[in-house]
Amino acid sequence: MCESKVQSDCACVTSKEINLDEPRYDQEFYMGRAKHFFQTTNPLNLFVSSRKLDEAKCLIHSYKCGEKLPSGTSEEDLWRAKTLYDSAFHPDTGEKMVLIGRMSAQVPMNMLITGGMITFYKTAPAVVFWQWLNQSFNALVNYTNRSGDIVQTDKQILTSYAFATSGAVGTALGLNALVKKMPPLVGRLVPFAAVAAANCINIPMMRAQELKHGTPVFDANGNKLGYSTVAAQYGIGQVILSRIAMAMPGMVLTPVVMDYLEKRGTLSRYRWLALPISLGVLGICLTFATPLACALFKQKASLPFFRLEDELKDKVAKEQDISKIDRVFFNKGL
């Protein structure tokens, strides 16, 4: 019964008491966005069962349709369900996202992968493996958290993945060759430089269909106006900056700490400490950097109407009075 209710196309109106179409905290301010992402990127969300997630989705949809809350369900329970829903379901399609593609998987997955990149960075095979693994993971995350509802074929996904990963691995190998005669600290920073450059390749490639066909844009009342490539470019640019900011603290601070311990001789005496220390520093950095970087820009981004492409503006003008449309809104992705 619950499942059919969730999948129905009934015209639901959000209750005036609690607006579940928006996050709990004011997204106009950075602190409000940070609080929201500290909750939705919490790694503990990964341990919530599929049954609990479906129950949360059912509760959210039922409340939006004007039904009374189940007996014993408090406002806090409703917001908790909203947090779980936001952490696991795509905001545009409503589909449950792949587990390791969710933003709540960023901290544990990046701890392991980035720890490997920073620890094993000296040989070409190690660089190839860890950069390939990192960009494969990033490709999955980028696709999972894409904006809009455009469907990509398997061929398009595989082509984008091939270009994204090969470009990233090539960048890492090239940088590694350039810094061979430089101080060890510079070599330790190559993974960050490679990741930053790779984000500029990986994210646009995995979201290439948005750049080609556009992302859905809406007016202030939530009415769909069409698809805009300008909005897609704007949103993807913000996501690239957020991802670089997310990686920077851990991938810069960790090499500095490891270089210091190496110069002191600590790592020479206790080689087994290298990976645990890297993971520990990365874990602390990522726990805070992930939500804080996600909060740099609003997920529900907006653009002035006049910035849209002429074709879309002309289309909208034929259907309604554009003098009443000041800005358009869209999900930029994460």
Q: What rounded mean pLDDT belongs to the chain? A: 84
pLDDT in tens, 153-170: 777 778 878 877 787 778
Q: Please give the pLDDT value at position 93.
A: 81
Which secondary structure element, helix H or strand E, spans residue 134, and what is its range? helix 124-144
User: Which runs of E-coded beta strand occur in the chain?
Assistant: 215-218, 224-228, 300-304, 327-331
> In whole angstroms, what is the distance from residue 244 CA to residue 200 CA?
9
pLDDT (mean) for 2-11? 46
Overall residue count recorded for the chain in this entry: 334
Q: Predicted confidence band at 128 (pLDDT cuts at 50, 70, 90)?
A: confident
pLDDT digits (tens, 9 = 90+) for 24-55: 899 999 999 999 999 989 999 999 999 999 99
The pLDDT tens digits for 286-329 are: 999 999 999 999 989 999 999 999 999 889 888 888 888 889 99
